[in-house]
Amino acid sequence: MRRSHFSPLRRLRPALLTLAGAGLLLLASGCQTPPYDDPARVGPFFTPRNHSGDASMPPTLRRVVLLPVYGGALADGETAATLDGVFATELQRQNRFEVVVLDRAECRRRFGADEFSSSAALPRDFLAKLGREFAADAVIWVDLTAYRAYRPLALGVRAKLATLKDTRLVWTFDNVFSSDDPAVANAARHHFIDQTHATVPADLTPAVLQSPTRFATYVASATFMTLPPVVLPTPAKPVKAR
What residues have CB less than 8 Å from 213, skipping those under 6 apart?
A: 82, 86
Nearest to 99 by CA among 88, 110, 108, 107: 88
Question: Could you tell me the residue ranges of all domains in the chain?
Answer: 53-178+212-224
- Share the mean pLDDT of the chain: 86
Quick: pLDDT tens for 136-163. Answer: 999 999 999 999 999 999 999 999 999 9
Quick: pLDDT tens for 164-211. Answer: 999 999 999 999 999 999 999 999 999 988 665 545 556 778 899 999
* CA–CA distance, 175 with 132 (Å, rounded to integer): 32
**pLDDT score recorded for residue 195:** 66
**pLDDT score recorded for residue 96:** 96
* CA–CA distance, 225 with 94 (Å, rounded to integer): 7
DSSP states of 132-158: HHHT-SEEEEEEEEEEE-SSSPEEEEE
**Domain spanning 53-178+212-224, CATH architecture:** 3-Layer(aba) Sandwich (3.40)
Whether the model clears a pTM of 0.85, i.e. scores above it, the answer is no
